Structure 1
Amino acid sequence: MTLRTSHHDGRQVLESGRVTLREQLPADCAQLAEGKPAELVWIDGIPGEGTMSAASMTVQADAAGVFQPAWGVFAIQRSEDGMAIGGIGFHGPPTDGVAEIGYDLSVSARGAGWATDALLALAEWALTRPGVRVLLATTEPDNIPSQRVLERAGFLRVADHGNLRAFELAGPAT
Structure 2
Amino acid sequence: MTHAVIVNDQQQYALWPSGTGLPEGWQATGWTGGEQSCLDRIAELWKDGRPAPVRRAVAEDSARPAVQLLVSPRLWLREVLPEEAAQITEGGTAGLEWLGGVPSAETRIAAKMLTRAAGAGVHVPGWGMYLLIRAEDARVVGAMGFHGPPADGSAEIGFDLTEKARGLGYATEALGELASWTLRQSGLDTVVATTTEDNVASQGVMERAGFELRPERNEEGLLVYRLTR
TM score, norm. by length of structure 1:
0.91
Post-superposition CA distance 1:138-165 (Å, at most 9, x none): 1011100000000000000011113211
| One-letter code aligned to 1:145 | A
1:131 deviation in Å? 2.2
Q: Does 1:28 align with 2:84?
A: yes
1:166 matches 2:213: no
Residue in structure 2 matching 1:64, options 108, 114, 120: 120
Question: Is the CA contact 1:139–1:166 (under 8 Å) kept in the aligned structure 2?
Answer: yes
Partners of 2:187 and 2:147 in 1: CA distance: 16
Moved more, 110-119 or 45-54: 45-54
Q: Distance in 2 between matches of 1:23 and 1:109?
A: 19
Residues 46-85 of structure 1, C-alpha deviation per residue, up to 9 Å, x if partnerless? Answer: 1122211111111111011011101000000111111100
Q: 1:38 is matched by which residue type in structure 2?
A: A
Is residue 64 of structure 2 the alignment partner of residue 14 of structure 1?
A: no
**1:138 aligned residue (168, 187, 194):** 194
Task: Give the structure, 1 or 2, with the largest relative contact order (CA under 8 Å, sep 6 or more).
Answer: 1
**Equivalent residue letter for 2:102:** I
Matched to 1:168, the amino acid is R
Determine helix, strand or coil for the equivalent of 1:71. Answer: coil
Q: Secondary structure at the match of 1:11?
A: coil
Amino acid at match of 1:160: R
**2:186 is the alignment partner of 1:153:** no
Q: Output the amino acid matched with 2:127.
A: W
**What is the match of residue 39 of structure 1?**
95
Alignment match, 1:88:
144
Amino acid at match of 1:163: G
Give SS of 1:124's match: helix
1:12-63 Cα distance to aligned partner (Å, 9 max, x none): 1111100110100100101111121111100011112221111111111101
Which residue does the alignment assign to 1:103? 159
Kept in 2, the 8 Å contact 1:43–1:84? The answer is yes
Matched residue, 1:3: none
Rounded Cα–Cα distance in structure 2 between residues aligned with 1:137 and 1:26: 23
Instruction: Structure 2 unaligned segments of length 5 or more: list them.
Output: 1-60
Paired with 1:165 and 1:49, the residues of 2 have a C-alpha distance of 22
- Where structure 1 has 5 or more consecutive residues not aligned to the other structure, the ranges are 1-6
For 1:141 and 1:110, locate their aligned partners in 2 and report how far apart those are by CA, in whole Å. 19
Q: Which has the larger radius of gyration?
A: 2
- Partners of 2:187 and 2:85 lie apart in 1 by 25
* Correspondence for 1:127 among 179, 183, 189: 183
Q: Distance in 2 between matches of 1:99 and 1:34?
A: 27
Q: TM-score scaled to structure 2, two decimals?
A: 0.70
The two structures, once aligned, show a CA RMSD in angstroms of 1.2
